[in-house]
Chain A
Amino acid sequence: MEERLALVLFSGTDDKLQAAAVLTAGAAALGRPVHIFLQYWALDAFRADRIAGDHGLAPEAGAEGRAAVDALAKAGQASWAETLRQAKELGDVRIEACSLSMDLLDLEPSDLDPLVDGVEGVTAFWVNAGEGQVVFI
């Protein structure tokens, strides 16, 4: 049994979501079960009507970072949503929306992209995380 990994995604900018998606794909490739918990702005980025849109970058990116990210995308880098889709095909990856954040953003499960498997509270998240590592992005 490979060690579980729990990722809490809080930030909703494309760079942080991309980093999280790559970490997820690598862990899934090694057979590690990955449990992703979406809070706040990360959850907003998973709205079905927004997932393919531009979610901006972390402030430290600046203009130079923006240009670098755009260049990689133009060269054919898979979007974070596509990378997560592939990671889900490849391994045991579950993506859950935080119920408090659902209330905060006034969302229904039908508002979310099908990448999201369900809605859970923080206690369920910790139970699912078990003794595994927890990473907050």
Chain B
Amino acid sequence: MTETTTEPTITRTIDARGSFCPGPLMELIRAIREGQVGDVIAVRSSDRGSKVDIPKWVEKAGHRLIGAFEREGYDELVVEKRR
């Protein structure tokens, strides 16, 4: 179970691969609004802007970026809903 420290339990995964800027962020925002505080949402994006945009939005919106992972051909950003 040591993996849980780097790969937290994900409440919901959004596969936004193939969606163009700002689609993945918009899908993430929708999921955060629908979720509960403490939920961990992973968003998969092939849009090159997401790995820069999503962390900026997360900070501004008062949530927490748990991690940004480079996968094969896409990025996966994991966010905890904080409010």
Binding site for B on A (CB under 8 A): 22, 25-26, 29-31, 72, 75-78, 83, 86-87, 89-90
Contact = CB atoms under 8 A, between A and B. Distances in A.
Contacts of A22: 21-22
A75 B22 CA distance: 15
B14 interface: no
Interface residues on B, range: 10 to 19
A22 B20 CA distance: 10
A75 B18 CA distance: 8
Contacts of A90: 26, 29-30
Interface in B25-46: 25-26, 29-30
Contacts of A30: 57, 60-61
13 contacts: A22-B21, A25-B22, A25-B26, A29-B25, A29-B57, A30-B57, A30-B60, A75-B20, A76-B19, A78-B20, A83-B22, A90-B29, A90-B30
A72 B20 contact: yes
B23 interface: yes
Contact of A78 (B23, B57, B61): B23
Contact of A29 (B18, B19, B20, B29): B29
Nearest to A30: B60
A30 B25 CA distance: 11
A90 B60 CA distance: 15
